C-alpha cells in the first residue's frame, strides 16, 4: 500500500508545484513579451485584487489608466486575475479596435453555450457569425420607427410615475429614495415593452418582476466573478456544460416568456412592443428573420438586464446634479416647457429639447453606467506606429469612465457642465473620447430606447417638481461596489417639491 500512497503524494505535489509555477509565470506574462505593464501583478488576483471587495472595477481601471497615462503609453498590459488584459488609452487605437479593425475584435470573450444554456445565447455574449446573424435580425427592432411605436407605451408608464409622485407629496414636498422610484419606473417600462406585463412595480416593489431580478442584482458581483471564472476556463466550461445564469432566474424568465407568448397567440393580442416584434420573427417563414423561442427568451432577458438599471442610474445621477445646481435645473425646465408645453408629450418633442440632450450627455460623461468596454482580439495585432503587438485572445478594456474624467479632454472633470456638449465644443474633441454607449458595429443596440425612457422620465419629473437636496441626501455620492454597473450606493434620497 505504501507505494500507492507514495504515488498519490507525488502526483499531488507535482500538481501543486506545476499550478504554482503556472500562476507565478502568469505574473510576468507581459514583461516576458516586452509589453509595458504594471510590473506588480499579484498571484491569482493580478492587478484587480480589490475588485468588489474595497473597490469597483471603475476605480481600479481609473487608477491603472492614470498610471499608464503618466508613463505616456497608448496601451498597458495588466492581469485580470489570470487573464492577460490590456487597457487602451489612445483614442486612435480605440477607434482602430472598435471600427477600423473590427473584424479582429468583434467578440467580447464572454462565455456562452446556447446548446446547454439557452439563456447564455444573448446578443451581449454571442460571438462571431452567431452574433452577427442575431444582431442583423434584431436591429430592425430598434429603429426610430419602432421607438415611435413604443413611445405611447412608455408615456403610459411615465403617467403612473407622475401620479405616484403626486400621491407621495401630500404636504407639497417629500424626500423620496429616487433610485428606487426610478428603478421602479424603468422596470415597468421594460416590463411592458419587453414582456408585455403590467407589473406596476412602482407601487408594488414586491411583485415578482421587481423582486426576482433584484435578487440577481444583489448578487451581481458573485455573478460577475462567476463570469470571469467562466471566461478564464472557457474551453473546460464548455465541455463541462456549465451554466452562466442561475437556475432560478432561468426558470423565472422561461416561464414568463412562454406564458406571454402563449397568452398572446391564444388570444391574438397585438401590442406595440418588443415582444410583439419578436413573436412576428418567430412565426416568420423567412430564415433571415426567424428566431426560436429560446432565442426570444435570452434576448428578453438581456434587454431586461441591460435596459432597466442603466437608464434609472442615468436619471438619478442627473437629478442629483440638478439638485446641486438650480441654475441648470431652471434653464432645463424652461426649455422643456417651451418645447413641450403643458400637454401630452410627443416623440419628436421629447427628442428635440437641445438643452436636455446636453444635460443627459454630460450626465453620461461624468457617470457612464457601463464604466469599461470589453473586446477580445481574435488574431495577434500589430499596433500601428509602435513596436507593440497584442497577442491573440487578449482581453481588451476600454476604460470609458477614466477617459470621460481625463482633464486633457474634459478640463475640471468633476464639474458638471452641460456646455461641454454644445455642437461647437463637441467638435473640438476626438470623437472617441466620449463612449457611453460604446462604438462601432457592436455598440449598444438599445441606445435610442434607453435615451427615450431617460428623457421621458426626466421630463415627467422636472415639469412638475423641483429637485433639491434633502436632510438625508448623501454628500458626496458613493458608488455601490457590489453592483456590476456603476450605480450610486443606497436609495439616494432627494427632496421633491411640487411646483
Ligand X SMILES: *[C@@H]1O[C@H](CO)[C@@H](O)[C@H](O)[C@H]1NC(C)=O
Total site size for ligand HEM, rule CB under 6 A:
25
> Which residue's CB is nearer to ligand X, number 223 or number 325?
325
> Which residue's CB is nearer to ligand X, number 417 or number 480?
417
Query: Binding residue for ligand HEM (CB under 6 A) from 120, 200, 310, 363?
Result: 310
Max CA pair span of the chain: 90
The span of 9-17, 151-159, 411-419, 434-442 binding ligand HEM (CB under 6 A) equals: 434-442
Give the C-alpha separation, 124 to 140, whole Å: 17
Query: Binding residue for ligand HEM (CB under 6 A) from 109, 450, 457, 493?
Result: 450
Query: Binding residue for ligand X (CB under 6 A) from 117, 321, 371, 417?
Result: 417
Give the C-alpha separation, 264 to 293, whole Å: 14
Half-sphere exposure of 36 (CA within 13 A, CB side): 18
Query: Binding residue for ligand HEM (CB under 6 A) from 57, 245, 296, 306?
Result: 306
Residues 151-180 that bind ligand X (CB under 6 A): none
The span of 49-57, 75-83, 219-227, 293-301 binding ligand X (CB under 6 A) equals: 49-57
Query: Binding residue for ligand X (CB under 6 A) from 10, 15, 34, 54?
Result: 54
Residues 338-397 that bind ligand HEM (CB under 6 A): 369-370, 373
Phi and psi of 434, rounded to 5°?
A: -135, 105
Interaction between residue 437 and ligand HEM (CB under 6 A): yes
Total site size for ligand X, rule CB under 6 A:
7
Return the one option of ligand X, ligand HEM, none that residue 417 interacts with (CB less than 5 to 8 A, by type): ligand X
- For residue 376, what are the β-bridge partners? 107, 395
Which element (helix H / strand E) includes 374? strand 373-376
* Min separation Cβ 340 and ligand HEM, Å: 21
Inter-residue contact 121 to 112 (CB < 8 Å): yes
Give the C-alpha separation, 344 to 338, whole Å: 13
Interaction between residue 443 and ligand HEM (CB under 6 A): yes
> Which residue's CB is nearer to ligand HEM, number 451 or number 495?
451
Return the one option of ligand X, ligand HEM, none that residue 209 interacts with (CB less than 5 to 8 A, by type): none
Which residue is it, cell 434584431? 138
The H-assigned helical ranges of 289-344 are 293-324, 326-340
Interaction between residue 346 and ligand X (CB under 6 A): no
Give the C-alpha separation, 258 to 368, whole Å: 34
Phi and psi of 179, rounded to 5°?
A: -65, -40
Give the C-alpha separation, 250 to 243, whole Å: 10
Interaction between residue 439 and ligand X (CB under 6 A): no
* Min separation Cβ 233 and ligand HEM, Å: 22
Give the C-alpha separation, 274 to 280, whole Å: 10
Indicate the Cα dihedral angle 410, 412, 417, 419, nearest 10°.
-50
Inter-residue contact 345 to 452 (CB < 8 Å): no
Look up residue 118 and give its three cell numbers. Answer: 439557452
Interaction between residue 59 and ligand X (CB under 6 A): no
Using alpha carbons only, give the angle 417, 419, 423 rounded to the nearest 5 degrees: 145
Return the one option of ligand HEM, ligand X, none that residue 410 interacts with (CB less than 5 to 8 A, by type): none
Binding mask 324-343 for ligand X (x = CB under 6 A): -x-xx---------------
Residues 121-150 that bind ligand HEM (CB under 6 A): 123-124, 135
Query: Binding residue for ligand HEM (CB under 6 A) from 161, 275, 279, 314?
Result: 314
Inter-residue contact 486 to 217 (CB < 8 Å): no
Interaction between residue 446 and ligand HEM (CB under 6 A): yes
In the complex, the residues that contact ligand X under the rule CB under 6 A are 49-50, 54, 325, 327-328, 417
Amino acid at each position: 500500500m505504501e507505494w500507492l500512497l507514495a504515488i498519490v503524494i507525488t502526483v499531488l505535489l507535482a500538481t501543486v508545484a506545476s499550478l504554482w509555477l503556472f500562476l507565478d509565470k502568469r505574473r510576468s506574462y507581459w514583461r516576458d513579451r516586452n509589453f509595458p505593464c504594471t510590473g506588480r501583478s499579484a498571484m491569482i488576483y493580478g492587478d484587480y485584487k480589490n475588485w468588489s471587495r474595497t473597490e469597483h472595477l471603475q476605480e481600479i481601471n481609473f487608477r491603472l489608466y492614470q498610471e499608464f497615462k503618466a508613463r505616456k503609453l497608448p496601451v498597458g498590459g495588466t492581469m485580470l486575475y489570470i487573464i492577460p488584459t490590456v487597457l487602451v488609452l489612445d483614442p486612435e487605437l480605440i477607434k482602430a479596435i472598435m471600427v477600423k479593425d473590427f473584424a479582429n475584435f468583434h467578440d467580447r470573450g464572454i462565455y456562452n453555450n446556447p446548446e446547454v444554456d439557452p439563456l447564455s445565447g444573448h446578443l451581449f455574449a454571442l460571438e462571431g457569425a452567431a452574433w452577427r446573424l442575431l444582431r442583423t435580425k434584431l436591429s430592425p427592432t430598434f429603429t426610430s420607427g419602432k421607438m415611435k411605436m413604443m413611445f405611447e407605451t412608455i408615456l403610459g408608464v411615465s403617467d403612473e410615475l407622475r401620479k405616484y409622485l403626486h400621491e407621495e407629496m401630500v404636504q407639497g414636498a417629500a424626500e423620496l429614495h429616487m433610485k428606487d422610484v426610478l428603478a421602479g419606473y424603468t422596470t415597468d417600462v421594460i416590463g411592458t415593452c419587453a414582456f408585455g406585463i403590467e407589473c406596476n412595480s412602482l407601487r408594488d416593489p414586491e411583485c415578482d418582476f421587481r423582486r426576482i431580478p433584484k435578487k440577481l442584482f444583489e448578487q451581481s458581483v458573485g455573478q460577475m466573478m462567476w463570469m470571469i471564472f467562466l471566461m478564464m476556463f472557457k474551453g473546460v466550461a464548455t465541455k463541462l456544460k456549465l451554466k452562466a445564469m442561475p437556475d432560478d432566474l432561468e426558470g423565472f424568465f422561461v416561464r414568463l416568456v412562454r406564458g406571454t407568448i402563449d397568452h398572446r397567440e391564444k388570444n391574438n393580442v397585438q401590442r406595440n412592443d418588443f415582444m410583439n416584434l419578436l413573436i412576428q420573427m418567430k412565426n416568420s417563414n423567412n430564415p433571415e428573420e426567424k428566431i426560436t423561442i429560446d432565442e426570444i427568451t435570452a434576448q428578453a432577458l438581456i434587454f431586461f438586464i441591460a435596459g432597466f438599471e442603466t437608464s434609472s442610474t442615468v436619471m438619478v445621477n442627473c437629478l442629483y446634479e440638478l439638485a446641486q445646481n438650480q441654475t441648470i435645473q431652471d434653464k432645463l425646465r424652461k426649455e422643456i416647457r417651451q418645447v413641450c408645453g403643458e400637454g401630452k408629450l410627443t416623440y419628436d418633442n421629447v427628442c428635440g429639447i437641445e438643452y436636455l440632450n446636453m444635460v443627459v450627455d454630460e450626465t453620461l460623461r461624468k457617470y457612464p453606467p457601463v464604466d469599461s468596454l470589453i473586446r477580445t482580439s481574435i488574431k495577434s495585432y500589430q499596433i500601428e506606429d509602435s513596436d507593440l503587438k497584442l497577442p491573440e485572445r487578449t482581453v481588451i478594456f476600454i476604460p470609458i469612465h477614466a477617459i470621460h474624467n481625463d482633464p486633457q479632454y474634459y478640463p475640471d472633470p468633476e464639474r458638471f457642465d452641460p456646455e461641454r456638449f454644445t455642437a461647437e465644443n463637441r467638435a473640438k474633441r476626438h470623437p472617441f473620447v466620449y463612449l457611453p454607449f460604446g462604438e462601432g458595429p457592436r455598440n449598444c443596440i438599445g441606445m435610442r430606447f434607453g435615451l427615450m425612457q431617460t428623457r421621458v422620465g426626466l421630463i415627467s419629473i422636472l415639469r412638475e417638481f423641483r429637485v433639491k437636496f434633502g436632510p438625508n441626501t448623501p454628500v458626496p455620492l458613493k458608488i455601490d461596489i457590489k453592483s456590476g454597473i456603476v450605480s450610486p450606493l443606497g436609495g439616494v434620497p432627494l427632496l421633491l417639491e411640487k411646483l
